[in-house]
Structure 1
C-alpha cells in the first residue's frame, strides 16, 4: 500500500508524493503523482510516466520542470519514480554518480551483486502501474505514455520500443540513445548485466529499433526527441542521437528530432520544451 508523504496544490490540481515498498527493488522507494483538475473531478485521465536522469530523485522533475501547468490544462496524470533503489547496501553503489545510487539505467540487473535490488525496468513497467492503479482510481493505465531526460530518455525509449502494447506515446529530452557505444553505457551495462555484450542490446534504443519486425514497426506512434545544441554530453559523445535518427530513417520510424540551438542539458532546457512534449502525448492518447 502506497503512503502519501506530501501534497501541494498546483494549477488547480494536486502534486503528491508517495512512499511504497517495492517487491521488485526489495525495499522502499518513492514516486510523484500529479493529479490534474479533471482527475480531482473523478474523470479518468491518461497516465504519462516521466523518468529522470543520472543523480536525480523524483524531486528534481517536480520542482524544476514546470510540467504541472500543462498537465493541468491537458488533463494528464503524470507519475515519476525515483532513478534507482536507495540505501540498498550494495557494495560500491555510492562510489560514483554513474553507477549504483541514482543510476539504475531502467534495466533489470543480472549480475549477482546488483540483481536483488537493481530492477528498475520491472519496477517501472510492471509493479508501478499496478501501484498507480490501486492508489489512483482516476488513472486510465490503458492509456499510457512514457518520456524522460538523459538516462531517463534512454529508459523511456527502450521501454517504449520493448512494450508498444503498454505505452502508446513516447518522447525524450537529450536521451542516451546508443549506450553500447558511449562511456556511460560501457560502464553501466557490463556492471549490471555481465560481460556478454549480446545482453546489452536489449537496453539500447538503436539495437532495439533495428530488431523490430515490420508489424511491430507499424504499431509505433511518432516519437519526439529534443536535444540542446550546446549540451556538453552531446559534444563529448555520450548521447549519440544521430545514430538513432539514422536507424529510424532506415526502418521508416516516424521520429521527430529537433536540435534546439543554444540549449544545454539542464532543466532550463527541459522546462522550455515541456509543453511541446505533453501536447505530443496528449494528441496521441486523447486523439
Structure 2
C-alpha cells in the first residue's frame, strides 16, 4: 500500500486498545510515518507512547481517514471528537454499531465504511468483512481494504445485514475454536495424558490443521485424506459427525441472533 498521500494528509486513530494497536502496528510496519498519526485515547499504552505517533494532539485539518476503534458503549462520548473533518473517510471496527449511527453523528453524506475484524488480527492473521454506505466510492473501499489488510484478509459484503452472520461466524468464531482446544485437551487428559502434554497436542493440532486448511484444498477432502477406512479417525468421526453440524449451525445462529438484538 502506498502511504505517500496518507503521510501527507495524516490519519486519526480513535481508540488504541488491542484492536487499534494491532492496526497501528501493521501500518507502521508497512511504512506509515508515525508523525502522520494522531491517536485519541485517554489511556495510551506504553507501547503506543513509544511509537512516535502524536497522542491526544490537535487533529489534522483534513485527514485521509479516521479509524474508529472504541467500544460501542463509549461511542456517544468519543464520536464528537471527529466531527467537522472535511473529505475524511471514516472506517469503524467497533462491533454492533450500524452505519446509520455514524451518519447521524457525521452527516448523511459522510463516507463511512463499517468493518468487522476478529481477534487473530492481533497477530496479523485476522479476517475482516467490510461494507460501505451509499456515499462511499470504489476508491474509498480500496483504501479501507488496504488499511485493514494490515492485520489479515479482507472480504467485502453486499449488504450491511450480512454483518450479523459475519459476527456469528468469524467475529465470535475464535472463541469457538479456543473452546474446542480446551475440550480436545480435556479429552486427551481423560485418556491418560498429562494436562500440559494434552494442551500442547491440542494447540498444535488446531494450529497445524488451520494452516493446512489455508492451502486452499477443500476441507472435506482434507478430512477424507486423514480418514483411513475402518481406522481410528473414522471411529472418532462416527461420534462427532452426527452431532457437530447441527450444533455449529445453532451456535452461529445464536450469536448472529444476538447481534441482531443488540442493534435493534
TM-score calculated relative to the size of structure 2: 0.26
Relative to its length, the structure with more helix (as a share) is 2
Relative to its length, the structure with more strand (as a share) is 1
Higher relative contact order (CA 8 A, sep 6+): 1
TM-score calculated relative to the size of structure 1: 0.24
